[in-house]
Amino acid sequence: TETTGDTETTGGPIKPEDCEELPILGVELLSQQEHQLESAAPVPLVRTPSTQTSITADPALFDLLRIMFDGDIAVGVHPLDPDPNHAIPNFVNQYVTVSSATVTYQEDLEADVYKRTFVAVAGQLEVFDLLSPHQTHGRVRHVELREMVKNGDVLEPAVDGTCYWIEEAEYDVRRPNGCAPFTADACPEDQFCMPVNAIGTDGVCVTGGAKQEGEGCTLADPNGWDSDCALGLRCVDFGDGHECGKVCDVLSDAPGCAAGTHCGGGYNLCLPHELLQQSGVDPAPVGEPCVDTPTALYCGGEGRPGHCYDDDGAGPLASTCLPWVSAPSHCEAPQTSGYVAYKGGIDRSTLWCFTP
């Protein structure tokens, strides 16, 4: 903190005089992917565990520290975004975190509501190693967390609010069998990188067997994806028993699904149209109007998968097939990201760009 006369400027490697250390020494930081099976936030998220009691106040309450960053993050040093309104969605004109990197801290959960919210206005995220966007090793340092309050739809610094300081906090959320799906040499030759989030940007190396597409199959562990399906297939049950399905990349311009099937559904599979009819399937390719089913969740034809969305509501624009994206940074202003909630709402990794 630098002070000149009556002007105070925050941000830098020195703890401001009005900040107190946030006592997180010994607190393990986990990936959202590990917090709940198959859960995924709209952006990569490292957080305190759900078993963590309050860090600074009543031990019967719960505090939540989160490190969040864009899905296109790279190895290196990244300044934390100082705008608190980029960190926490207001669901009016912002629906996901749009910070390139941010730290938030919410204190004292009571009746499903946190009593106080803090957002970093200065600091750094350093990524040492990146296995996938959701499996990184890094640290945050010189983090200045300022208490924020809502003023309408906008977050503002609280008058006489509390300030917390994190000198340094290291995390490592890489998994021993972790991998980046759809990349060369992601796993040993006798294994396959199975996507574990709906957008297909995070994965684990799994073993397989001899069962072919459409055949009945068995999972080695109900909490994993190793099975007796051939590599490149996923053993999954959509209501009629487990069978092997072809894995596909929802971010690919050529996902390679057979006629009558579509790449998607939250499990990166080539799924029969009839299985997706409840949510709607339209043949429009990305960028073209959805004429048959304007509200379809699935479109793209044989090319890149997307969904049908009317970007101006009751305005003159037609519903159009919009592609899925994997990071908020793929959306150019004035557009922002929305997300589709898969797997009972716990997987929100599938984004698209729209005008709020």
Would you list the DSSP string of 164-217?
A: EEEEEEEEE---TTEE-TTSTT-S-TT-EEEE-STTS--EEEE---SBPTTSB-
pLDDT at 142 over 60: yes
Q: Where are the domains of the chain?
A: 20-172, 177-247, 270-355
Percent of the chain with pLDDT strictly greater than 70: 96
Q: Could you tell me the pTM of the whole model?
A: 0.91
Measured between alpha carbons, how far is 133 from 352 in angstroms, rounded to an integer?
Answer: 18
pLDDT at 8 over 50: no
Angle at 323 between CA 34 and CA 283, to 5 degrees: 120
Residue among 102, 96, 39 at smallest CA distance from 67: 102
pLDDT at 26: 86
- Report the b/e string of 61-86 with b at 16+ CB within 10 A: bbbbbbbbbbbbbeeeebebbbebbb
- Minimum mean pLDDT range among 1-15, 181-195, 218-232, 320-334: 1-15
Q: Report the first-to-last Cα separation within the chain, whole angstroms.
A: 37
Per the DSSP assignment, residues forming a β-bridge with 347 are 40, 342
- pLDDT per residue as tens digits for the range 287-328: 999 999 999 999 999 999 999 999 877 778 899 999 999 999
Provide mean pLDDT across the span 101-105. Answer: 97
pLDDT at 206 over 70: yes
pLDDT at 9: 55
pLDDT at 238: 86
Measured between alpha carbons, how far is 125 from 139 in angstroms, rounded to an integer?
Answer: 6
pLDDT at 194: 97
- pLDDT per residue as tens digits for the range 218-245: 999 998 999 999 999 999 998 889 999 9
Residue among 34, 54, 53, 55 at smallest CA distance from 44: 34
pLDDT at 10 over 70: no
- pLDDT per residue as tens digits for the range 58-82: 888 899 999 999 999 999 999 999 9
Q: How many CB atoms neighbour CB 207 within 10 A?
A: 18
Provide mean pLDDT across the span 141-149. Answer: 97
pLDDT at 25: 86
pLDDT at 49: 87
Kindly state the DSSP code that residue 163 receives in the 8-state scheme: E
Cβ neighbours for 340, distance < 8 A, ≥ 6 positions apart: 198, 297, 307, 348, 350, 352
